[in-house]
Chains A and B, each alone.
Chain A
Amino acid sequence: MSEIREFADLFDAILKEKNAEKYSYTLVKSEKQELNAESGEFKLMRTVFSNYTSLKLFRGTRMGNVSGTDLSEEGLRKLADDGIVAAESAEEDPCNDFGPDQGKDVFRQGVWEPDIDRFLERVKELLTTIKTDYPKINVMMAIASFDRHNWISRNTNGTEFEAFTGSYGLALEISASDGEKNTGISGTGFDFKDLDTPLIDCCNVRDTLEKTQNSLNPQTLTGKFEGPVIMTPGCAAQFLSMLAGNYMGSGVIMEGTSLWLDKVGEQVCSPMLTVSLNSFDERIIVGERGTQDGFRTEDVTLIDKGVLKAHMLSLYAAKKTGRPMLPNTSFNVVVEPGDKSLSELIASVDKGLLMGDFSGGYPGTNGEFSGVAKNSFLIENGKVGPAVMETMVNGNLGEIFKTIRGISKELLCDGGMVMPYIAFDGIVISGK
């Protein structure tokens, strides 16, 4: 029996003793080993032993949500008491609920026993390779971590899920400098489960280093034009996340402010676009297995060839609005690849941008966005040219996803999502 089960049994006994008839909770024990390098040199080794407890407790249809870090008997008793007080303070709402009995299951994903010495050697090798191959790059921060979690989730309908998960992760924050010339910050991050491949060859590390080193002589654009924008997978994911929040999420559907409120089953995007939440995809290192509402996670298609298949509704939002709940509360996004290579997409652009990051205000519910193109390059006559600075892009989220001009065959897998490059029309690019 795992240690976490002993805590769970104790917690059940405490909740029963306090006459809690309806509740769900998650208990987590986790461990992080994290190596931090600054300016290309090791600086700090960090070990974190964490606990996390989260309890949803009901009094009739009133619900309180409390959380903490104390797994001692005293801590669990206090959490139960706090949950009762929070629930009794709440208002009656029959939409507060969690899923029916989903049975019992144990999930194992990723790697449980890390090889920290080898991991450290891989990071050292990465830092050395960067110094050799990319001499103008300054690794401002490299955070290499191994994270391991054992969690158990139970509710009074009978569901019990337990999980053992572990993964390595790397986050790089870099800039380039040459004399007094400096670039801005760029970076990448990804999760992985083995140390077989040098880190420099993982995910988009080399691409990020090359693009950053090529950004030392940025050009300030003048004037304004509407041109195609090819977004890198990371940038496209950023826009997809905004699209989900503004058009498909529980909040905007409950508020009634989503422009896709009554669009399920309708064509809302280009037929080229298919978006799913595929937590069971083998490219996802640690995918969701149980939703936040106590259901078994399922792979779901959100947009199929441009047709909206579902809103991303929690159980509460689903009950509140009389619409179907989505049995996936992750953002394990998988976007289907297109039929053109990145070089073909670039070759088709007379004048536009290859955009690495968007730095902009979060769009309002009308979808209007406006911001700065960061880590971005001018495309002219089908070729990638100089980096750009002080370049703004604006458009409308809903509209640009209707006018996709191409999706790349190449996919970026960062361990949490799978994304291609996406080329959009209808974005206004303006310089100084």
Chain B
Amino acid sequence: MIQDVLGSKCALFSDGVQTILRGQENRMRRVVFLKGNLVQNVRSEERGVSARVNRNGMFGFASVAEYTPEAAEKVIRAATDNALFLGRHSTDRIVLPPSCGTGTIPLTGQINDAEQKRIIDLCRRIDDHIAEKYPDLSSRVVVYTEDSMDKIIYTSDAFNGHAVYPRAHMMIQMSTETADGTPVEMMDVLGGYGGFEDHFTEPEKLFPVIDKIYERLMDKKEGVYADAGYKTVVLGGMMGGMLAHEAVGHTVEADLVRGGSVAGPNLGKQVASELVTMVDFAHTYNGAMAPLPVYIDDEGTKAEDAMLIRDGILVGYMNDRESAAEYGMKAAGNSRGWAFSDEPLIRMRNTCILPGRNTLEELISSVDDGYYLIQSGNGQADLTGEFMFGVTCGYEIKNGKLGRALLDTTVTGVAFDMLKTVDMVSSEVQWSTSGTCGKKQAMAVSMGGPLMRCKIMIGGR
């Protein structure tokens, strides 16, 4: 982990401007076995320092790929010059208000580094197990990924702190062919916050998940195309999380509200069924650590939960300090940058629709003719709240019982219309912890949701 070499450079912060100095290291470990071949064996470490200066509302940012006191001096000077340069070519913007507090957030966790050989051995063991137990597969892929961020933050008028974000995941994908020779795939992701030691020291504990992937793949091998149209569905927890992040979350990021998102004119209005409450959690969910705990953001704001939808009413946005001032809200620690060279942007953390009272059985048995949609490959949404999720695992529901598996399909809708159709919500939340959101930069995010019964457009053939 990085050591603090920046503190002494706070003396270079100028009076009358707001300055953030950030040292950061991103680590990545990646091992990929494709059909038994080790095709990727990668370790990477990117380290540097950046400064962001706000002068009369103009932001100057600079970064250097060195983590030294001298580099800190260089970026403070360059960021100041950039703010001055921009000021000469433009009128002033919003001057950032005083921060919500000052202080120090102590080191928030640890990043532990596993030896590459242990990672390779683990993946080989998993791959061998799949190959031996399920020789009928046409292909298999085992991917281990560890990505971590380690940040030291000094600010002129907010919190200082040392934040770490370690994640370790394994993705397993299996392929087979349908009777007519068409390839189909099924995958799942394991792991979460922490490192190798936290999730992968006992490979045999992963075997039941492997069995489940295979079972679902065999169902899908006999699968059918969905009947396209506007259908009653039960969205699985992962789909609920995708909905929370993609379809609603992005529209309530304040920079996108400023850009004209549907959330702008809907603040304070009913945008969802009363059963829907949605929060972007900072670091704690239900009394335990959230999957991606954020204690301090990259503007030095101490992180708090951001309430977005309460009982179906849109009540807030996710903000940085500038947008919080613009919308009269409180910044809650959503401003984060991916690499040392990235300026902080408004990003989600642990975005989740809260659980309700129903069970999975109640949800399934309540549907006469519809679908149970379990797993999403990817998702996208627009400023209007129009969203699309790829569905890679799902089943028919006929007369309250699960039927045939579905081949890959897509669901779409407009978030604030679709959420008004939610009429049953399960009591358990499922988290998806491996998300990487794209918005100019990448960013580690987590998303969660309960199972929900609702109406949605589903694509067929």
Which A residues contact B (CB, under 8 angstroms)? 35, 38-39, 41-52, 63-72, 82, 85-91, 93, 95, 120, 124, 138, 140-141, 143, 173, 175-177, 180, 182-185, 224, 251, 254-257, 259, 316, 320, 359-366, 368, 370-372, 374, 389-390, 392, 394, 428, 430, 432
Contacts across chains A and B counted by CB atoms under 8 Å = 243
Give the complex CA separation of A370 and B116 in angstroms: 39
Pick from A38, A359, A394: contact of B460, CB under 8 Å: A394
Pick from A39, A48, A255, A361: contact of B392, CB under 8 Å: A361
Flag if B410 contacts A394 (CB, 8 Å). yes
A residues in contact with B461, CB < 8 Å: 368, 394, 428
Flag if A46 contacts B260 (CB, 8 Å). no
| Chain B 345-387 interface mask (CB, 8 Å, partner A; 1/0) | 0000000000000000000000000000000111010111010
Flag if A89 contacts B117 (CB, 8 Å). yes
Within 8 A of A (CB), among B106-124: 115-117, 120, 124
Given contacts A64-B43, A182-B383, A362-B390, contact A48 B260 (CB under 8 A): no
B59 proximal to A (CB < 8 A): yes
* Chain A, residue nearest B259 (CB): A140
Measured between C-beta atoms, what is the minimum distance from A96 to chain B in Å?
A: 9
Flag if A48 contacts B63 (CB, 8 Å). yes
Give the complex CA separation of A38 and B322 in angstroms: 12
Measured between C-beta atoms, what is the minimum distance from B266 to chain A in Å?
A: 10
Measured between C-beta atoms, what is the minimum distance from A62 to chain B in Å?
A: 9
Listed from nearest, the 7 A-B pairs whose CB atoms lie closest are A361-B390, A140-B259, A184-B382, A89-B117, A45-B82, A370-B459, A44-B59
Pick from B34, B124, B413: contact of A254, CB under 8 Å: B34
Given contacts A143-B440, A390-B413, contact A90 B382 (CB under 8 A): no
Known: A38-B255, A48-B341. 15 other contacts (CB 8 A): A87-B41, A89-B115, A91-B38, A95-B37, A138-B260, A173-B259, A182-B384, A185-B383, A361-B409, A364-B183, A365-B175, A366-B183, A370-B390, A371-B410, A390-B414
Flag if B262 contacts A120 (CB, 8 Å). no
Flag if A39 contacts B63 (CB, 8 Å). no
B412 proximal to A (CB < 8 A): yes
Measured between C-beta atoms, what is the minimum distance from A259 to chain B in Å?
A: 8
Given contacts A68-B46, A185-B383, contact A366 B58 (CB under 8 A): no
Pick from B38, B61, B255: contact of A45, CB under 8 Å: B61
Flag if B384 contacts A389 (CB, 8 Å). yes
* Chain B, residue nearest A224 (CB): B228
Flag if B380 contacts A359 (CB, 8 Å). yes
A residues in contact with B63, CB < 8 Å: 47-50
Give the complex CA separation of A64 and B120 in angstroms: 11
Flag if A42 contacts B86 (CB, 8 Å). yes
Give the complex CA separation of A120 and B58 in angstroms: 15
* Chain A, residue nearest B35 (CB): A255
Flag if A49 contacts B85 (CB, 8 Å). no
Flag if B408 contacts A368 (CB, 8 Å). yes
Q: List 13 A-B contacts (CB under 8 A).
A: A48-B63, A50-B65, A52-B65, A68-B46, A70-B65, A71-B65, A93-B37, A183-B383, A251-B34, A255-B34, A257-B139, A370-B409, A390-B386
B292 proximal to A (CB < 8 A): no
Flag if B388 contacts A372 (CB, 8 Å). yes
Flag if A42 contacts B392 (CB, 8 Å). no
B residues in contact with A432, CB < 8 Å: 230, 457
Measured between C-beta atoms, what is the minimum distance from B77 to chain A in Å?
A: 11
B residues in contact with A46, CB < 8 Å: 60-62, 82, 343
Measured between C-beta atoms, what is the minimum distance from A17 to chain B in Å?
A: 21
Measured between C-beta atoms, what is the minimum distance from B377 to chain A in Å?
A: 5
| Chain B 68-104 interface mask (CB, 8 Å, partner A; 1/0) | 0000000000110011011001110100000000000
Give the complex CA separation of A182 and B255 in angstroms: 15
B residues in contact with A52, CB < 8 Å: 65
Flag if B43 contacts A82 (CB, 8 Å). yes
Flag if B43 contacts A256 (CB, 8 Å). no
B residues in contact with A67, CB < 8 Å: 42-46
Give the complex CA separation of A374 and B382 in angstroms: 9
A residues in contact with B78, CB < 8 Å: 47
Given contacts A47-B78, A185-B383, contact A366 B184 (CB under 8 A): yes
Measured between C-beta atoms, what is the minimum distance from B177 to chain A in Å?
A: 8
B321 proximal to A (CB < 8 A): no
| Chain B 139-151 interface mask (CB, 8 Å, partner A; 1/0) | 1010000000000
Flag if B58 contacts A43 (CB, 8 Å). yes
Measured between C-beta atoms, what is the minimum distance from A191 to chain B in Å?
A: 17
B243 proximal to A (CB < 8 A): no
* Chain A, residue nearest B43 (CB): A66
